[in-house]
Amino acid sequence: MFFWILVAILTAAVAVVLLLPLLRRPPAAAGDTGHDVEVYRDQLEELKRDEASGLIGTNEAELARAEVARRLIAASNAEKNERASPASRRNRLAQAFVIVLPPAIGLCLYLATGRPDLPAQPLAERLANPGTDISILIARAENHLAQNPDDGEGWDLLAPIYYRNGRMEDAANAYAQAIRILGPTTDRLDGQAETQIALANGIITADARKLLEQSLALQPGNPRAGYYLALALEQEGKPEEARAAFEALVQKAPADAPWLPLVKEHIAALSQGQGSVAQGQGSVAAGQLGNPTADDVAAAQDMSAGDRRQMIGGMVESLAEKLAENPDNFEGWMRIIRSYVVLDQRPKAEAALKTALETFPAGSENGKQLLALARDLSISVEDSGQ
């Protein structure tokens, strides 16, 4: 019932807005014949007063009264003609259309495309029966946690959902609450660290590193924490230590580990970087394009989130320009795709993946690594022509 009341009010408001210009009389009609009629009537009254006071004779008053009456009749007839004119009829017809057509058209459209037979479903009922609607599921969990803030299992369940939906600040808070209530585990510590890395636009901060080291202490062979700690060494400008850490991951990894291609890509990039230095080249190797130096990482620790994001964006733009000149740089494509995801620019990541697959077909070894990276980062492979 509330829906129909709201529809009626909105329809009436629209009709009033459309009718207001039509209800106003044209300026000419209001200022010509109508005004003349009033003037002639006033003249007749004035003649009566002049005759009664003796200012004018009876004969002269009769003649003047006859002339004014003739003009009054002519003006009255003209006013009637104006009201019956085609323009006036069109105005009334337009008013009728405004009153009848919008409600009739709206009702027909609703009956054709709407669901008048669908029962009302208030918010409380939708929260009670969310089905597969993830937003309703999240809202339901949030309502529960608002009433039960010490429900550690609820925070533990909601934290990775926040992360997958890009709500990094909420994810960081949820992980912190779960760790506070239930205690640290490798999954919670790694999740909190990944959230902080995402908030830092891909920079592994000191706080994130502490969480990863704590996770690795709980589970020494934890590849998730080991990968990020090795990446931290790479960001700090320690290529030998980083490569050794990545190689240790490969030695302990199962052959079918989904993250193995990414680790091998880092090893290859670091190997190329060391080869260039060994040959006396003063520039960074092609595999290291866009990678922040140790000074960049140190400076990023003290930056605001906006400044840090701007710094990473500048590196990515530089890498994109170099890839446009040298599209055969496989490691550069891997790096820029990851960077776009960190910057929450997934359309650009998908476009970069599509361009990279044009140079490295999906059936090639490099192409398989690109597709593995896309799956790991939840990038749509279909939009990239695969």
DSSP code string of 294-340: HHHHHHHHTS-HHHHHHHHHHHHHHHHHHHHH-TT-HHHHHHHHHHH
- Going by C-beta distance under 8 Å and a sequence separation of 6 or more, which residues neighbour residue 286? 272, 326, 329, 331, 332
DSSP state at residue 25? P
Tokens of 14: 């629209």
- Cα–Cα dist 235/199, whole Å: 16
pLDDT at 182: 94
- Cα–Cα dist 132/286, whole Å: 45
pLDDT at 311: 62
Highest mean pLDDT, choosing among 65-69, 171-175, 375-379: 171-175
pLDDT at 275: 35
Tokens of 297: 């990482």
The pLDDT confidence band at residue 216, using thresholds 50, 70 and 90, is very high
pLDDT at 217: 93
- Cα–Cα dist 113/172, whole Å: 43
The residue that leads in pLDDT, 214 or 279, is 214
Q: Looking at 83-87, 90-94, 274-278, which range is the least confident one?
A: 274-278
Whether residue 354 contacts residue 383, with contact meaning beta carbons closer than 8 Å, is answered with yes
Query: Which H or E run includes 193?
Result: helix 186-199
pLDDT at 83: 56
- Cα–Cα dist 313/332, whole Å: 15
Q: Residue 218 pLDDT more than 90?
A: yes
**How far does CA 114 lie from the centroid of its chain?**
27
Q: How many helices (H) and strands (E) does the chain have?
A: 19, 0
| Residue indicated by tokens 């230590």 | 241
- Going by C-beta distance under 8 Å and a sequence separation of 6 or more, which residues neighbour residue 63? none
Tokens of 188: 């919670």
In 3D, which of 222, 229, 220, 231 has the Cα closest to residue 257?
A: 222
The residue that leads in pLDDT, 371 or 126, is 371
- Going by C-beta distance under 8 Å and a sequence separation of 6 or more, which residues neighbour residue 212? 189, 190, 193, 204, 225, 228, 229, 232
- Cα–Cα dist 268/13, whole Å: 68
pLDDT in tens, 22-35: 666 555 444 455 56
For residues 147, 153, 159, 160, the Cα torsion angle rounded to the nearest 10 degrees is: -140
The residue that leads in pLDDT, 346 or 293, is 346
The pLDDT confidence band at residue 131, using thresholds 50, 70 and 90, is low
Give the global pTM.
0.45
pLDDT at 265: 85
The pLDDT confidence band at residue 210, using thresholds 50, 70 and 90, is very high
For residues 219, 222, 228, 233, the Cα torsion angle rounded to the nearest 10 degrees is: 70
pLDDT at 278: 29
Cα 24 to Cα 31, 77, 86, 91, 320: the distances in Å are 13, 21, 16, 10, 63
Q: Looking at 101-110, 232-241, 248-257, 269-278, which range is the least confident one?
A: 269-278
Cα 146 to Cα 139, 180, 186: the distances in Å are 10, 16, 26
Beta strand spans in 123-271 (E)? none
pLDDT in tens, 247-303: 999 898 888 888 888 888 888 888 875 433 322 222 233 333 344 444 554 455 455
- Cα–Cα dist 38/72, whole Å: 9
In 3D, which of 332, 331, 350, 330 has the Cα closest to residue 340?
A: 350
Looking at every residue in the chain, the average pLDDT score rounds to: 76
Q: Residue 84 pLDDT more than 60?
A: no
Q: Looking at 43-52, 77-86, 364-373, which range is the least confident one?
A: 77-86
Whether residue 369 contacts residue 359, with contact meaning beta carbons closer than 8 Å, is answered with no
- Cα–Cα dist 265/252, whole Å: 17
Start-to-end C-alpha separation, the chain:
50
